[in-house]
Structure 1
């Protein structure tokens, strides 16, 4: 992650994008690192949000390309299981997109939303909103505890 921090805003964008796909990575720590090195707060918020959102949309799109028969054939998932899962996705709908920023399950939410063809525009909007608010909270925490963060990172 040090090399991504060294890339500054580009590193923040790349890291935020990758963290929002199935690559296990922390965009939050990267954001704090760039801020601690003097990154512009609003620029970091915009870059991290857009990079993370585009990564989430990529996961959504991968799910959109999926086919029921592939899951049945290659993963031995029964049609009944897919129908049950679809009913759960339909129950929560695009509201799940707000929570696609969550670690581990967020990527699965994004893929499932795409797989079940949940409204792309609303899914994209709620994905963007959730990710923006997540990074905003991290920035507010950083600004409140900036001295401690900088001390922790630089020692």
Structure 2
């Protein structure tokens, strides 16, 4: 279970990785649906909240020449975020766009509680779906 937590946490940060395969593997070995879901959701949500914290902290450096986003890029990101808002965090589970969305939530100072609630809902839903698919497709192979 600890390995699942670590893999889920790492894959939610800006590090590359995928925890779905590891979750399905753990399901084959342990088959404790609720515990696996809770551990994967907690780890992945915590990883996304680390991204939110990084976004909050990164805002302090926006005037520096080495800051990776130009003022125009930041303004464009802010317009996009204001348009789609906090509900975009329901896509925090999605590959490629999920991690930047959580960083944007931090940059634009979304409330911690709102960010956590939306991220946990998104991540929990994804892992529930992964476990349902594992049960349906992998049960004969385990």
Regarding TM over 0.5, the answer is yes
Give aligned pairs, total.
142
Give the match for residue 70 of structure 1.
Answer: 62
| Counterparts of residues 34-73 of structure 1 (less than 5 Å) | 34-67=26-59, 69-70=61-62, 73=65
Unaligned 5+ residue runs, structure 1?
1-8, 151-155
1:143 to 126, 131, 135: 135
| Residue 11 of structure 1, CA deviation | 0.5
Give the match for residue 80 of structure 1.
Answer: 72
Contact map agreement 2:61 2:67 (CA 8 A) in 1: no
Contact map agreement 1:72 1:79 (CA 8 A) in 2: no
Contact map agreement 1:89 1:112 (CA 8 A) in 2: yes
1:127/1:78 CA distance change after superposition, 3 Å? same
Give the match for residue 28 of structure 1.
Answer: 20
Contact map agreement 2:52 2:105 (CA 8 A) in 1: yes
Contact map agreement 2:8 2:44 (CA 8 A) in 1: yes
TM-score (ref. length: structure 2):
0.91
TM-score (ref. length: structure 1):
0.84
1:17 to 9, 13, 16: 9
Within 1, Cα distance between the matches of 2:68 and 2:8? 33
Contact map agreement 1:20 1:55 (CA 8 A) in 2: yes
| Counterparts of residues 123-134 of structure 1 (less than 5 Å) | 123-134=115-126
1:10/1:74 CA distance change after superposition, 3 Å? same
Unaligned 5+ residue runs, structure 2?
none
Question: If each structure's helix is expressed as a fraction of its own residues, which one has the higher value?
Answer: 1
Within 1, Cα distance between the matches of 2:41 and 2:92? 13
Give the match for residue 98 of structure 2.
Answer: 106
CA RMSD, Structure 1 to Structure 2 (Å): 1.7
